[in-house]
Structure 1
Amino acid sequence: MSASITVMGLGSGDPDRLTVGHLRRLQQAGHRYVRTKDHPVVGWLEETGVTFTSFDEVYESKDDFPSVYEEIAERLIHAAKELPGGTEMIYAVPGHPMVAESTVKLLRERCGKEGIGLEIAGGESFLDEAFARLGFDPIEGFQLLDASELSASLVEPRVHTLIGQVYDVFTASDVKLSLMEIYPDDYPVTVGHALGVDGQEKILQVPLHELDRVEGYGNLSLIYIPRDDSESLRQRSFERLHEIVAILRSPEGCPWDREQTHQSIRKNLIEETYEVIETIDEDDPDHMQEELGDLLLQIMLHSQMEEETGMFTVYDVIGNLNEKLIFRHPHVFGEMSAEDAEQALNNWEGMKAEEKRKKGIAPEEQSALSGVPRDLPALMKAYKLQKKASKVGFDWDSVEGAFGKIDEELAELKQAVREGHEPSDQMLELGDVLFTVVNAARFIGADPEEALSLVNRKFTRRFQYVEQKLKEAGKTFKDSSLEEMDHWWDEAKGLEHAGKDRKK
């Protein structure tokens, strides 16, 4: 049988806070280890003759903290196995063993499996001193975060926040950058060094942007941000957006929002999508930010309507999306690999088919054209239908086949128009021409929707140039000849070509 390990808390740093019981056990123990000697109580104990074997050198030999903690836990377990049964081995840690002590977590996970007894002997935590010295009640809402693993998504401004393990100025700089995603640059934050330790305690308040200019960071340092319910901080949170939309749809909210249904705002979703696309085409980030917000509002409204019926919430939408993204990217979150975009897309399609099988749908029994949304714009839908047909071999060998089909369909359209066929027949012939043009686009690697959008913008620019020139001449379209308008059109075209030449 192995020795047992007693994990003992040394308190927040003041030797006077060490209990008589802890001191007696430390004095009587034959095997004493300490995570680090960089703690005021350790120095005081060694002056009284209570010595320790420390793991300070492990910090120097490893590249990151997780590796340090793994190595310490491994050494402690090995040492316990080498000692005779019934022997008590003490492992002393700063503060309380169950507060921000990763090595203790590892020991709790492994000692039982290794047949080693484990006792946790508490101690005064740095939290006790923080509550007293910084003057806040944790029942108002409180979170303790690790500086080495801090991200903006973990910070909740509406509760008191303590950030521990701010070992040095580099860690403080990382904390600053994370907090600046939420708080203004000049937001006041509090830095505490060695709270409760006589002669060493320092508490100072600094603007957030100066957080990494403070001196004295070490093992007993922390950062404190008091709770803040101000609207300005909540405005950037997703939770606030969810709350606002719920209020708008509530009986006390907006009469117009309350009356809307999925069908009544269906067109809004389409319009906002195209407005986002316009900002992308115009390479206008500021406008894009605004339009993406408008599109997000449509998603929030549709989700809120379903939340009111109890079917799902926007958090269900997010959860399903996260699961889908992880599942369909096995080359990122799983064991598969992808050397290029094509291989990544193949993985995506393979996992998409697997999803269908899990839902009881056999992909091989579906039409090769399945999965194309019914209400896509016609040009985009034609492109997707042809791509799916091409995957199963229903395609020409080269673009020449598509060109030949364009000539054939164009001739049939001309014939239908010249011979005065029914309007519906002429429309179908026109559709055939457009459909074959989409095939040509696919062969040259061009998205027909995007190609037509480019031409639409080009036409708009040139037409507006003609309008401007006519206006400068004091004319309107009605009192201008086609030749005159063509002149200005050609001039606009020439200016565009000249601009392209200058860019080369």
Structure 2
Amino acid sequence: MKKITVIGLGAGNLEQMPIGVWNRLKQASHIYLRTEKHPVVQDLKDQGILFHSFDHLYEKEGSFHDVYEQITKLLIEKANEETAILYVVPGHPMVAEKTTQLLLQEGPAQGVDVEVTGGQSFLDAAFTALRVDPVEGFSLLDASSLQRDHLNPHLHLLITQVYDQLTASDAKLSLMEVFPDDYEIILLYSAGVSGEEAAHKIPLYELDHHFKKVHNLALIYVPPTREEKILNRQFTTLRDIIAILRGPEGCPWDKEQTHQSIRKNLIEETYEVAEAIDLEEPDALCEELGDLLMQVMLHGQIAEDEGDFNVEDIIQVLNEKLIRRHPHVFGEREAETSQEVVKNWEEIKAQEKRDKGIDPTKQSLLSGVPKDLPALMTAYKLSKKAAKVGFDWDQLQDVYAKIEEELSEVKEAKGSEEIKEELGDLLFAVANLARFLKIDAEEALALTNLKFKRRFHFIEEHLQKPLEEATLDEMEWLWQEAKKKEREA
């Protein structure tokens, strides 16, 4: 059977190479090197060992991924021509070597056996140079595909494939999403290569400044941290804090809480988020969203303590729902407009109910509107659902006429109960007007409330006497002044 044997040159000089690897190199007839940029290559030349390299592809192809795919393709072609070849890579073939993975995937599919053997990983030399014990926990990452969620500040981070200034710059930007700009890292060159190994401690922001030329034996080391300003940005820290607060040595108040006892807190925090949005205050919004998230985390921890579910279950259910309800993004269904998205969404929700044993056709059209929503928002949603089946006015003028009718009935009503009922009808009609105008009635009223508060505060600030002593004319004049300043702003 046609065969490719993948072997590693190790991380250092010839003295560090296992005798078995050296013997394989001397005995092989067809040798292909991924790159000649390795300290052992000159020894191969000195010993008269003939080989071909793929260095020319790095200049020809547009990306490292393209290079690796092309190497894989050429090796399989050569294996079909020469039956058995030796493919030689730096370090160990199974550590940070993309071509090995591609060969293992593509070779057997094309009738070529792929054997992986030998080579010392650069990790041994790196841990020795850095004086790091890997049992403490480490993560080996690829600089060319580094993402924020790969970075765990609790672990020793070793980032390889740092070939050039561009790659180093991209890695720096990713690291800066987790670590401060001046966080001290180590740039390690040629680990394990006698006479060439070098380690430089530098602040993170200088990382790409050290790459003035291509270097294929560079490694970034980011040490773990206990700095609160870094760890406090991690979701795991929040989860741990909530668990501690609810734990045996935690806060007496937090330990006593139940879903029902903090139900009102969730509602209050939601409204405070809404207020921060209306006030357009980013700092306040950031803080209020944190308070709302804390309520979610508390409910998750309470459920975990009671053996019902945990925060990870919440995230899983949410992720699955988002993927399921967006088939035009994650699946094969198409939706070019927001209207088509909503149509898909409704169909999927109906199917979800059927999957739970609920027949949507036997449910009231008005089901699904939470009973604890604010009344104005409930009116908006109820009328919107009814309008879907044609229970609605034909034109805007009909809505205005209904409001006038309801206002007349409020004026004619006798007794508090009748007035309350007619006033409710009027408010419901106004909510319908908002829907017709494609305006959220709750949002509109919230903005008016803020405007009222802002103008009344203006009166309080500019009155030269206590409010109780001011006349209506004085307060009205200041009210008009507040309106004037808003128009001028």
Identify the match of residue 437 of structure 1 among 425, 430, 454.
430
Aligned in 2, Cα 1:205/1:375: closer, same or farther, shift over 3 Å?
same
CA contact (8 A) 2:129 2:191 kept: yes
Identify the match of residue 484 of structure 1 among 466, 471, 474.
474
Amino acid at match of 1:249: R
Match of 2:183 in 1: 187
Residue 443 (structure 2) pairs with residue 453 (structure 1): no
What's the TM-score, normalizing by structure 2?
0.95
SS in 2 for 1:204: strand
CA contact (8 A) 1:441 1:448 kept: yes
Structure 1, unpaired ranges of 5+? 500-504
Match of 1:158 in 2: 154
Amino acid at match of 2:483: K
SS in 1 for 2:140: strand
User: Distance in 1 between the 2:92 and 2:190 partners?
Assistant: 15
Moved more, 306-315 or 115-124: 115-124
Aligned in 2, Cα 1:356/1:74: closer, same or farther, shift over 3 Å?
farther
User: Distance in 1 between the 2:193 and 2:462 partners?
Assistant: 81
Match of 1:276 in 2: 273
CA contact (8 A) 1:13 1:94 kept: no
SS in 2 for 1:190: strand
Moved more, 91-100 or 70-79: 70-79
1:56 is displaced (CA, Å) by: 2.5
Identity of aligned residues (%): 54
Aligned pairs for 1:35-434 (under 5 A) are 35-83=34-82, 87-215=83-211, 218-416=215-413, 420-421=414-415, 423-434=416-427
Residue 485 (structure 2) pairs with residue 495 (structure 1): yes
User: Distance in 1 between the 2:488 and 2:90 partners?
Assistant: 73
Amino acid at match of 2:97: E
1:355 is displaced (CA, Å) by: 2.6
User: Distance in 1 between the 2:71 and 2:357 partners?
Assistant: 50
Match of 1:502 in 2: none
1:458 is displaced (CA, Å) by: 1.8
SS in 1 for 2:141: strand
Amino acid at match of 2:199: I
Match of 1:12 in 2: 11
- CA offset digits 1:269-301 (Å, max 9, x no partner): 111111111111111111111111111111111
What's the TM-score, normalizing by structure 1?
0.92
1:44 is displaced (CA, Å) by: 2.8
User: Distance in 2 between the 1:389 and 1:71 partners?
Assistant: 61
- CA offset digits 1:206-243 (Å, max 9, x no partner): 01111111145511110112233344432211111111
User: Distance in 2 between the 1:367 and 1:480 partners?
Assistant: 54
Aligned in 2, Cα 1:353/1:70: closer, same or farther, shift over 3 Å?
farther
1:79 is displaced (CA, Å) by: 2.2
Structure 2, unpaired ranges of 5+? none
- CA offset digits 1:410-442 (Å, max 9, x no partner): 1222111xxx24x22221111110111111111
SS in 1 for 2:467: coil
1:475 is displaced (CA, Å) by: 4.5
User: Distance in 1 between the 2:20 and 2:461 partners?
Assistant: 92
Aligned in 2, Cα 1:319/1:15: closer, same or farther, shift over 3 Å?
same
SS in 2 for 1:186: coil
SS in 1 for 2:376: helix
CA contact (8 A) 2:2 2:111 kept: no
Moved more, 269-278 or 350-359: 350-359
Amino acid at match of 1:145: L
1:447 is displaced (CA, Å) by: 0.8
| Paired residue total | 488
User: Distance in 1 between the 2:362 and 2:45 partners?
Assistant: 77
Q: Give RMSD over aligned pairs.
A: 1.9
1:101 is displaced (CA, Å) by: 1.0
Amino acid at match of 1:449: E
User: Distance in 1 between the 2:148 and 2:166 partners?
Assistant: 17
Amino acid at match of 1:34: L
